[in-house]
Amino acid sequence: MLLTEYNEQAHLQSEREIAIEEGKQIGANQLGKLISALLSEGRTEDAARAATDEAFREQMYQEYGIKN
Write down the domain spans for the chain. Answer: 42-68
Contact residues for 64 (Cβ-Cβ < 8 A; gap 6+): 33, 34, 37
Q: What is the pLDDT of residues 22-49, one digit of tens each?
A: 999 999 999 999 999 999 999 999 999 9
Q: Could you write out the three-class secondary structure of 9-67?
A: HHHHHHHHHHHHHHHHHHHHHHHHHHHHHHHHCCCHHHHHHHHHCHHHHHHHHHHHCCC
User: Band of the pLDDT at 7, cuts 50, 70, 90?
Assistant: confident
Calculate mean pLDDT across residues 12-25.
Answer: 93
Rounded to two decimals, the pTM is: 0.77
What DSSP designation does 4 have? G
